[in-house]
Amino acid sequence: MMRPVLAIALTTFLSSCAQLAGLVGGGQTILIEPDVSEAILVSVPALRAQGYAVPSARVGSVTTWRTADSATFSFDRGVIVSTRGLGDDLMGADVRQSIAASTGGAGDWAPRINGYMNGEYQSYFMTFQCRRSATQSEQVVLGDRTVAATRITETCVNDERQIENIYWRNGNGVMVKSRQWVSSNVGYMETERVIR
């Protein structure tokens, strides 16, 4: 008598589908005209996603970049402080230490705090101790150009994991390339300045 079993499972499955048929997308467009002369190429290997993003807002030293299908990445002087549209988003962050480290500040251990939201919609935080662990000069290939940059590695640890963020800044201090950790499920993202 497996029939009731299968039928119950099927009913459960179908009832989900019936509801799914009514799905509405949260489609949105950008209000502000982006400054299209600037762009970055962002990729998140864990999500198999990649795309160009253009600036859509600036608040203080934070610039928010938006992809064509509405994922956003916000950087404070090149250091990621917030993402949206990725699922396990970085909701906000205190990155004063990372900014200091990535601009060649002192190499001491200092705290970094990342804010997240769980599946019950409650905030939680991940704190790290971070420090600049390596600095070297490097030639970076961006598209068909080669740019002189300083490569800075920042190592962050807590009781659960160790992450390594890598920042490449050019002579003017502009972040031209980076690899930065976002969250448990998003993992690392990579950015590259698009030079035209």
Partner 1 sequence: MRYWIRSVVVIASGGLFLGQSSAEPLAGYNTYGYPGLIDMPSALSRPDAELAFTSSYFKNQSRNTITFQILPRLSGSFRYSNINNFRREGGELFDRSFSLQYRFIDENPNSWRPAVAVGLNDFLGTGIYSSEYIVATKTLGHGVRVTGGLGWGRLAGVGGFDNPLGFIDQRFETRPDIDVGQGGTVDTSQFFRGDAAFFGGVEWQATDKLAFTLEYSSDDYPYEDGSAFERKSPYNIGVSYQYRPGITLGAHYLYGSEFGVQATFATNPKSPRGGPGADRAPMPVLPRRSAESLGWSVESVGEDRVETNIRNALAQSGLTLHGFSASGRSVRVEVENATYPNMAQVVGRTARALTNSVPTGVDTFTIVPVVKGLAGAAVTLNRGDLEELEYNYDNSWSSFARASFESDTGPLTPIAARYPLFDWQLRPYLSPSLFDPDDPVRVDVGLELAAQYQPAPGFEIRGAVRKKLAGNLDESTRESTSVLEKVRSDFNIYEREGDPAITELVAAYYFKPGDDLYGRVTAGYLEPMFGGISTELLWKPVDSQFALGAELNYVKQRDFDQLFGFRDYEVATGHVSGYWDMGNGFHGQVDVGRYLAGDWGTTLTLDREFKNGWKVGAFATFTDVSFDDFGEGSFDKGLRFEIPISTVTGQPNTEKLSYTMRPVQRDGGARLNVSDRLYETVRELHTPQLNDGWGRFWK
CB of 170 vs partner 1, minimal distance in Å: 24
34-53 residues near partner 1, rule: CB under 8 A? 46-52
Report the 10 Å Cβ neighbour count for 182: 24
User: Pick from 36, 37, 60, 139: which binds partner 1 (CB under 8 A)?
Assistant: 60
Stretch that binds partner 1, among 17-25, 101-109, 142-150, 169-177 (CB under 8 A): 17-25
- Residue 57 C-beta: closest distance to partner 1, Å: 3
Q: Which is nearer to partner 1, 107 or 115 (CB)?
A: 115
* Cβ proximity of 132 and 79 under 8 Å: no
Of the candidates 73, 97, 111, which has an alpha carbon nearest to the alpha carbon of residue 152?
A: 97
Helix (H, G, I), strand (E, B) or coil at 9: helix
Please give the residues from 164 up to 183 whose contact with partner 1 meets the rule CB under 8 A.
none
Stretch that binds partner 1, among 23-31, 101-109, 145-153, 172-180 (CB under 8 A): 23-31
195 binds partner 1 (CB under 8 A): no
The footprint of partner 1 on this chain (CB under 8 A) covers a number of residues equal to 79
Taking CB under 8 A as the criterion, the residue among 76, 77, 128, 152 binding partner 1 is 76
Q: Are the CB atoms for 122 and 137 separated by under 8 Å?
A: no
First to last CA, the chain: 68
Q: Enumerate residues 6+ apart whose C-beta is below 8 A from 38.
A: 54, 55, 194
Report if residue 24 touches partner 1, rule: CB under 8 A: yes
**91-130 positions binding partner 1, by CB under 8 A:** 91-94, 113-123, 125
Q: Which is nearer to partner 1, 119 or 171 (CB)?
A: 119
Cβ contacts of 71 within 8 Å, gap of 6 or more: 49, 51, 53, 83, 84, 85, 86
- Nearest Cα neighbor of 194 from 137, 140, 139, 136 is 140
Q: Binding to partner 1 by residue 87, rule CB under 8 A?
A: yes
Among 40, 77, 78, 82, binds partner 1 (CB under 8 A): 82
